Chains A and B, each alone.
Chain A
Amino acid sequence: MNCKEVGEYISALCDGERIPRDAAEHLGGCESCRAQLNEYAAMGPELRRLASLEEAAVAAPLDWTRTVSKAGWWQKGLTTMRIPKLAFGVMLIAIIALSSGLVMVRARAGAAAGRFLELKYKIAPSGLAHSGRVDICIMRVDGSQKGNTCDFVDHGREGLLLMNTRLTGKVGESAQLRIRAKYVPGDGDAEVDYNEALFKDIPEKALSLEPGEKRDVEVAGLGRIEVEGEYLDHIPPLVYRPQETLDPDPKEFRIVAPVLVRDNQVIANADGSSIDTGASDATLMLYVPGEGRYLVSLVPFEGAVEGSVHLGKITFSLQGHDYLLLTSMPITVSEHVWVKHEPDFKVSEHMVRQSDARDDRTMYIVRSLRKLQQERIEH
């Protein structure tokens, strides 16, 4: 087969279709055809990115009545709603914009199209904090030296796990990884000065990982850590929850990188995220040194005032001050929250034991209101 004859099969290959052996053999030995494959593969994510922008742009509400006047539902909605028409329009924009934002999130990629490698580490049960859980990181696969490594340090009752993974490239579909892992028994409570030197003396092990394949990494003194990889053509909204979408699930309450502003002054600015996916009384507790804590709940509770939610923004007024809580993702499908400020609250020993909380550091968590109020009682 020549390049011209193979072209159609290159296109089919991008769509996950099987291609004839002689076409595959030509492709394997022809740099020009491989470049063509890469360019085809790169066009998909670009088009989906364009689509996500365009769908948001076309989400302005239409005057349906001019073509569906007999349908009635739309017109009836406009005339009988007790909320302003403009507000209804804005609400529709929000709903449609949110649903259209899913386009990119859904797309997974083959190795050829994948611009990012998602690695999942499953730590076997032990005394570590992350035992039995899955840690996820995303790395770039374009050969860049920036963003091609992933580190984590896991503290636990019985020890400390240091882990560093570096992606050096791809061979076929296999991701070529270099992993440094070390377990230090008895040092779980030790302070860790987090920098590159931490991993310097740990020997590197090579690991070749096919997409979807699960491989074990032996860590002396700890046991096995299962590693699984998959290519993505995008960075998910939340790295450690790749299936997360921009619009919150009906049961989700999500706080991502919150900023709390009071009367135009920033009083808290935090990284990371905290999400509750099931509690009907899901509540944010935001602790600010010198300020005590703010409780922002999906349900009314004693002493709380009502606030409004719009996408990633919560507004409320407390004791003569106007507050704005901004987050980088839509928070909840609810339009209302209830907020209380407890200025005398201080970080308890219990919180210190359960997390990395400190009384001189801003921290936040989303969990059941009942549990957060118990925290106050214990304190």
Chain B
Amino acid sequence: MTDDRELWDRICRRDASAFEELYRAYRASLQAFLRRAVSNPQAAEDVTQETFASIWRHPNGFDPARGTLRSYLLGAGRKRAAEWWRQQKPQGEAETEKTEECGAETRSLIGDALARLTAEQQSLLWLREVEGQSYTELAAILEIPVGTVRSRLFAAREALRKIWRGERNTEGEV
């Protein structure tokens, strides 16, 4: 993977091959994250596209001194996801859709348990455990203080643990 700054400079110069490189490198992980952030696979795909499209149309806001391109993309995706939520119907209706649309090939106890957390908790855990974002990066992506990152991570972990443990016990009884 090319250096973040160099890749970004090329994108700003409208270098399509650089944008293609960005897309290939990060699309799958961004979409996987957005599946958590919007709790809806189809919406995640749309928001992913919108995020990339927006960056291609208006490449601005990335500062290599403040973080990696990956963190920047995740932050941009999160903002798009927040916009998506604002345009949605009340959460209860969206909730009914999300678990049924998960592909059978990726179903797992942990996946089912995760899907039962709030979108915010899912996003936070995903960014920390899967994307490996540091507390500082999480604070920048989510636009919250570092101390809040720690307390919210604990709340998310504890919620997931309780559900996950319950599901494992249930499966063990079958």
Contacts and interface: CB of A to CB of B under 8 A. Distances in A.
A202 interface: no
B128 interface: yes
Given A12-B154, A43-B129, A50-B114, A55 B53 contact: no
A116 B88 CA distance: 44
Nearest to A48: B130
Which 7 interchain pairs have the tightest Cβ spacing? Answer: A73-B16, A11-B154, A46-B110, A55-B28, A67-B53, A8-B154, A51-B130
B166 to A, nearest CB: 12
Contacts, number: 122
A379 B66 CA distance: 61
Interface residues of B, number: 47
Interface in B109-124: 109-111, 114
B51 to A, nearest CB: 10
Interface stretch (A99-107, A224-232, A297-305): A99-107
Contacts of B110: 43, 46-47, 49-50
B171 interface: no
A17 B106 contact: no
A84 B122 CA distance: 39
Given A8-B154, A51-B130, A95-B24, A43 B161 contact: yes
B28 A59 contact: yes
A294 to B, nearest CB: 33
20 contacts: A11-B150, A14-B157, A15-B128, A39-B164, A43-B129, A47-B126, A47-B129, A50-B111, A50-B114, A51-B130, A53-B106, A54-B35, A58-B35, A62-B27, A68-B53, A96-B24, A99-B24, A100-B29, A103-B130, A107-B132
B29 to A, nearest CB: 6
Which secondary structure dominates where chain B touches chain A? helix
B103 interface: yes
A71 interface: yes
Contacts of A17: 135, 150
A347 B29 CA distance: 48
A9 to B, nearest CB: 8
B20 interface: yes
Interface of B: 16-17, 19-20, 24-25, 27-29, 31-32, 35, 41, 44-45, 48-50, 52-53, 56-57, 103, 105-106, 108-111, 114, 125-126, 128-130, 132, 135, 150-151, 153-154, 157-158, 160-161, 164-165
Interface string A86-115: 000000100111011001001100000000
A92 B24 CA distance: 8
A50 B107 CA distance: 8
Contacts of B158: 7, 11
A73 B11 CA distance: 12
Interface string A35-78: 01001100110111111011111110010101110111110000
A7 B31 CA distance: 31
Contacts of B111: 50, 54
A51 B154 contact: no
Nearest to A14: B157
Contact of A43 (B31, B154, B164): B164
Given A47-B125, A48-B130, A58 B28 contact: yes
Contact of A96 (B28, B45, B53): B28
Contacts of B32: 51, 54-55, 58, 100
A166 B150 CA distance: 39
Contacts of B19: 71, 73
Contacts of B49: 62, 64, 66-68
A15 B127 CA distance: 12
Among B114, B151, B158, the most chain A Cβ lie within 10 Å of the Cβ of B158
Interface string A3-20: 000011011101101000
B161 A39 contact: yes
A70 B45 contact: no
B20 A73 contact: yes
Contacts of B45: 58, 62
A68 B151 contact: no
Nearest to B112: A50
Nearest to B102: A54
B53 A50 contact: no
